[in-house]
Amino acid sequence: MEYDHMMDGDFKEDFGPKIQVSAADNVHVDFELSNVDLSLANSLRRVMHAEVPTIAIDLVEIEANTSVLADEFISHRLGLIPLDSREIDQLNYSRDCDCDQNCGRCSVTLTLHAKCTSDEVMKVYARDLIVGYDRPNSHIGNPVITDPDGLGSLICKLRKDQELKLTCIAKKGIAKEHAKWSPTAAIGFEYDPHNNLHHLDLWYEVNPQDEWPKSKYAELEEPLAKPEDFDYDAVPSRFYFEVEGIGNIQSDAIILEGVKELQRKLAGLIHGLGENDGMNGEYDGPRSPDAMDASAGYMDQGYTTPYGNPGGASAWGGGATAYGTTPYGNSGSSGWS
């Protein structure tokens, strides 16, 4: 293997994207992304927020509901319950599955049957959902329960003799289709904490330094020593992310899946540009009709019709109409003499 001497010295510190994690746990992760363009950093944020696949309840069949909540209201609450989405790649999208409606390869079935028989109010939680056995693994589709009591999200409340019986079908999807498939609660995105690039026009009454407190990332960068030191050509290169998950996917996995999805998009773009071209041959993509054919006459300034005759003549030849004369009696010549 040949050694690249360009990687010697300080150059290797600025070669390619670099990620530095400052804090992380099962739900949160804070990291810095540097040596990339603003558009790439923002693309990663958007992909993590809207295109990382998860599983969520998509269809609800209610057999009995005598609670005070409408069927649609309960269905909406069920859809927002986070479900375990680890190893989501083992589950197919329903549109890509060969089954008629749903099966164990593209969905997970959950059932719920609760009935209050006492005078006290009965609370129905996510832990009361029973997950079916026909699924890719033993944890996908399980309701995410993180509270100390192990109850999960509250679905509804029942009084005496009230009943709720339903069947749920959870499917794979992305937040671009519906927010219930979002793997994150929020993603913080920040750059240039001192506003050295003047991308923000801070409104203030007396002193912007006092009225606009600095973020925690201001300690990592230096402000401009003098206002006249402003560089119009400067661009941001350090971006600070704060990813907050909801428990269905670990926070670090959200970042990794976001990077993978971004790579798939770029690979699809490259493949589309180079399809049937070998990346070096003649362009064979979409083009205007006959735009590359010099004999098609597309450079004739518009004086010929698609039928090959001059634009001043009809399809039957000459300057006359189909009947040999114009409605004014002459033979297709100009009316001005």
Instruction: Give bridge partners of residue 189 from the DSSP assignment.
Output: 241
Dihedral sign, Cα of residue 275, residue 280, residue 285, residue 290: negative
Three-state SS at 97: coil
The two tokens of residue 303 are 């004086």
Q: Which pLDDT tens digits describe the chain residue by residue (337 residues)?
A: 343 444 444 444 556 888 899 999 888 999 999 999 999 999 999 999 999 999 999 999 999 999 999 999 999 999 999 999 999 999 999 999 898 888 999 999 999 999 999 999 999 999 999 999 989 888 999 999 999 999 999 999 999 999 999 999 999 999 999 999 999 999 999 998 888 887 877 788 888 778 888 888 888 888 877 766 677 788 888 999 999 999 999 988 999 999 999 999 999 999 988 865 554 555 555 555 554 454 544 455 555 555 555 555 555 555 545 555 555 555 544 445 4
Distance of CA 209 to CAs 53, 206, 255, Å? 42, 9, 34
Amino acid at 294: A
The predicted model scores a pTM of 0.72
Distance of alpha carbon 2 from alpha carbon 225, whole angstroms: 44
